[in-house]
C-alpha cells in the first residue's frame, strides 16, 4: 500500500511537468506562427 501512493505521485508530477512543457511549446508556436504569416 505504501508503494502505490509514491508511484502515483511520481506519475502526477510527470504529467504536470509534461503539461507545463506542452503549454510552453504551444505558447512558442503561437508566438512564432503569426510572425511567419506576417513575413509572408
5-36: pLDDT as tens digits: 777 788 888 888 888 888 888 777 666 666 65
pLDDT of residue 2: 61
Alpha-carbon gap, residue 2 to 5, rounded angstroms: 6
Q: What is the pTM of this model?
A: 0.43
Amino acid at each position: 500500500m505504501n508503494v502505490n501512493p509514491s508511484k502515483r505521485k511520481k506519475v502526477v508530477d510527470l504529467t504536470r511537468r509534461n503539461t507545463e512543457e506542452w503549454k510552453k511549446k504551444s505558447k512558442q508556436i503561437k508566438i512564432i506562427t503569426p510572425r511567419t504569416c506576417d513575413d509572408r
